[in-house]
Amino acid sequence: MTSEQLLEALKALHGRLNREMRDKWNRHVSLPDLIADRWETARAYGFGEGSSCYDNVLIKGDVKVGRDTWIGPNCILDGVGGLSIGDYCSISAGSQIYTHHSVNWSTSLGQEPEEQAPVTIGSGVYIGPQSVIQMGVTIGDGAVIGAMSFVNCDVPPGVRVFGCPAKPG
């Protein structure tokens, strides 16, 4: 098969998969997400039963996810310092969860190590789109993080926070 034939075959496959996605779910996703199964991706990383994770999620380090948790597209799950996410959570599109940073390493010209601290997210937590969770944070069961929030301190169970930095609303 020539490269032109292969390209035409890929375009035809993309078109077919795109139509199937639109007909079934009324949505458009990237080609890798048309090919990859979100539930298989989650299983491959050892996430809990019924959890799903888009193909374009960056997963780094030790990330543990409970059952029936949804990890939306374009998220960053940094488990370098240890990341634990409970059951029945929604981690919305573009959210970023960090367990390390390289500020001291960079400003010391490589003389200081990266800093690390684990992040724990309880069960039944909703994290709104484009939110950023800083290293060392614990988010309690049933908490809600509003869209585009920066969470740099612990959030008690059942509390709703939003903003930059996130505060109870």
First-last CA distance in the chain = 60
Separation of alpha carbons 131 and 92, rounded Å: 8
Could you confirm whether 14 is annotated as catalytic? Answer: no
Q: Is the dihedral of CA 31, 36, 37, 43 positive or negative?
A: negative
Q: Active-site residue among 14, 28, 100, 101?
A: 101
Distances (CA, A) of 159 to 87, 139, 150: 17, 9, 15
Separation of alpha carbons 64 and 78, rounded Å: 11
Tokens 């940094």 -> residue: 78
**Mind telling me the catalytic residues?**
101
